[in-house]
Amino acid sequence: MHEANVVVSPLWVSIEGINGVGKTRLAVALSGRLGAEGRLVSELTDGGGDGLRAAVVAALSTGRSFLRTGHPLTETMALLALKVREYELVAALPDPPAIVIEDRGVDTVAVYQAAISTCRFPTGGDTAAVDRMMRAAADRVYATAAAWRPLPDLTVLLVDDPAACERRFADREGRAMADDEQQIVARARRLYRWRAGIEPERIRVVDRTARDSDPAEVVTIVEDLVADAVRSRR
C-alpha cells in the first residue's frame, strides 16, 4: 500500500469531569486553539448532531435530571450506542480531522451510569461496598464500549473543589443541586479518580483548583498534553 493511501485515524481526546467543573468551556477553548486540526464533538445534551441523536436524547430527557428515566441499563445501552455512532461518523469522513475533541465521552457513560445504576441497591452507608459495586458496573460499561469502538486515546479529567463546581452548576441551571444529584456527582467524582488511578497513561488529571484567575493556563496545560499525545503516535 502506498503511504499516500494510508488514512490515519484521528487522535481522540475526551474532556471529562463532574458537573460544574468547566469542561465544556475547556473543550470549546481547546478546539479554538487547535483550529483546523481539531473537530469538536459537543456534549450529547447540548444539542447539535443529527435527528437520531436528538431523538434518543429527547427520549431519555423525559424523566429526572441526568437522563434518568428509571431504566438505567437501557439508558446505558442507548448512550453507548450514541458514542459508538459518533466514532463511526468521524471514521466515515473522507478527510477526517487530525484531532477530535469530545465534550464528555465513553468515560462519562461508564462513570455516571455506574453511579446511577447502583443507587437502587441499599448498602447501609457502607461506602466500600458502594465503590465495589460501582467499579464493577463501570468495568462492564468500559468492556462493552471497547468491543465496539476504541476508548479515547487521551482523556483529560478536569478536577476542582466540589463546592466551586456546585456553585457553577447553580449559576448555570438557576438552582442548587438536589440531594440525589449531589449523591450521583459525589459517586462520579470517586469513580473518575479510581479510573484515573488504574489508567494513568490514558486518563490525565488536570487540577484547576488554584487556576481560576487564569483560565487560559488550564487550556495551555491541556494543549500541551494533546501535543504530547500526538508526538507519541509518530
Residue type, 90: V
Residue 165: per-residue pLDDT = 96
Residue 4: per-residue pLDDT = 47
List the chain residues with pLDDT less than 70.
Answer: 1-7, 46-49, 121-124, 213
Residue 139: per-residue pLDDT = 98
| DSSP per-residue codes, the chain | --GGGPPPPPEEEEEE-STTS-HHHHHHHHHHHHGGGEEEE--GGG--S-HHHHHHHHHHTTSBTTTB-S-HHHHHHHHHHHHHHHHHHHHT-SS--SEEEEES-HHHHHHHHHHHHGGGS--TT-HHHHHHHHHHHHHHHHHHHHTTSPPPSEEEEEE--HHHHHHHHHHHHTSPPPHHHHHHHHHHHHHHHHHHHH-TTTEEEEE-TT-TT-HHHHHHHHHHHHHHHHHHT-
Residue 126: per-residue pLDDT = 85
Q: Which domains occur in the chain, in start order?
A: 3-232 (3.40.50.300)
**Cβ-defined contacts of 19-22 (< 8 Å, 24+):** 19/165, 19/169, 19/177, 19/181, 19/185, 20/164, 20/165, 20/166, 20/167, 20/168, 20/169, 20/172, 21/158, 21/159, 21/160, 21/165, 21/168, 21/208, 22/158, 22/160, 22/168, 22/208, 22/215, 22/218
Averaged pLDDT of the chain: 91
Model pTM? 0.92
